[in-house]
Amino acid sequence: MVETDAGLIPLSARQHHEAFEDETCLLKHVPIIGYQRYIEAVANGLVPEAHVDAYEFHYIVRGDLDWWAEDSSCRVKPGMVFMTRPGEMHGSSDTFFQPTELYWFQLRVPKTKPMAGLTPAETNYLRQRLSSLTERIFSASNQIRPAFECILDEHRFPSLSSPIIARAGLHQLIGFLIRDHDSYVGGHHEATPLSSQIQSAVELINSNLGEPPPIDYVAKQVCMSPGHFRSRFRHETGFSPYEYLTHCRIDKAKEMLLNRRWTVTHVAFRLGYSSSQNFASSFKRQTGMTPTDYRVVAKTPPDRIKVTNGRGRGVPV
């Protein structure tokens, strides 16, 4: 695995990791910014770490992630932001990165001097606002992803004006994040709530994991054509209907595997798989380990702790 000058770390056709830091990052107060997309689970989840002088923000596009910070654990869903403050230990509950798509960056706010491009008064306001953020997880508006892409594009295809554009994009991204947090605290807890039709479809799928109804049947039940249903379902949940079914099955399987009285084959048949082999293959694609291995590590606490100065991050190897 080789990191290029552009910051891209090629993993495989189904895995993409892109990060800009140190000399490849255009922003003085951003130790690292990046994007990653994993179609299948990969080894080394969000390694336990703390950034002693930097905030970190993750914006989840696709996938549900079980993460923790300090003494609390949480499930971060598509369309949500996960924030950690300087010095807060955090990591993933699993030893593998689940299939996901996300953006992230770290922000180091100077304690006395102004940030590049901001006045002392604006920097002081930013410092106060960030320190007053109360919610670790909050809904993101549809402005967050374009703001990330604006900054990343300047890193991917740099020009003489790129530092100026990237800095302006950073200020915009920070402003959007603060505004989204305030909106969430103000009671707008669902930036993209499920429509009644998709909510009904989700409930139908969840209640029939062992004998899932055909997609055409689900679409008919919510008064949509199959094609329109698939499009709407992905838009609102971040998953295709089949991906969502698989995700729910694997979540249920994790719960069932904790009961050692149930064999892997029993769990497979209870969840509608035609064989234990098919179940094991699906489970490994989603979690990076076999059902049997999962039983061994399910209750094992994280054993790797890394404290960084704001730049550390676990990268699949």
Judge if 143 and 240 occupy the same domain.
no
234 pLDDT above the threshold of 80: yes
Instruction: Mark which of 138, 155, 190 sits at the end of a domain.
Output: 190
Judge if 221 and 168 occupy the same domain.
no
Judge if 175 and 207 occupy the same domain.
no
Judge if 180 and 215 occupy the same domain.
no
108 lies in a domain?
yes
Instruction: Mark which of 135, 170, 190 sits at the end of a domain.
Output: 190
Range of the domain at 219: 196-297
140: pLDDT confidence band, cut at 50, 70 and 90? Answer: very high
| CATH number of the domain where residue 212 is located | 1.10.10.60
Judge if 180 and 217 occupy the same domain.
no
249 lies in a domain?
yes
Span 95-136, pLDDT tens digits? 666 778 899 999 999 988 999 999 999 999 999 999 999 999
88 pLDDT above the threshold of 90: yes
19 lies in a domain?
yes
| CATH number of the domain where residue 150 is located | 2.60.120.10
Judge if 167 and 37 occupy the same domain.
yes
306 lies in a domain?
no
309 lies in a domain?
no
Q: Which two tokens stand for residue 222?
A: 């919510």
Give me the chain's average pLDDT, please.
84
Judge if 228 and 121 occupy the same domain.
no
What integer pLDDT is reported at residue 64 of this predicted model? 78
Spatial strand order of the sheet with 80-84 comes to: 8-12, 15-21, 32-38, 100-107, 55-62, 80-84, 137-139
313 lies in a domain?
no
What integer pLDDT is reported at residue 43 of this predicted model? 63
Q: Between the CA of residue 240 and those of 51, 198, 217, 229, 236, what are the distances in Å? A: 35, 12, 15, 10, 10
What integer pLDDT is reported at residue 306 of this predicted model? 41
304 lies in a domain?
no
189 pLDDT above the threshold of 70: no
Judge if 178 and 52 occupy the same domain.
yes
What integer pLDDT is reported at residue 3 of this predicted model? 39
187 pLDDT above the threshold of 90: no
Judge if 177 and 242 occupy the same domain.
no
Give the whole-number percent of the chain exceeding pLDDT 90. 55
Instruction: Mark which of 172, 190, 208 sits at the end of a domain.
Output: 190
Residue 206: name the closest of 272, 266, 262, 267 by CA: 272
pTM of the model: 0.70
Q: Between the CA of residue 305 and those of 39, 145, 312, what are the distances in Å? A: 27, 30, 11
183 lies in a domain?
yes
Span 196-207, pLDDT tens digits? 999 999 999 999
Judge if 54 and 87 occupy the same domain.
yes
What integer pLDDT is reported at residue 14 of this predicted model? 64
Question: What total number of domains does the chain contain?
Answer: 2
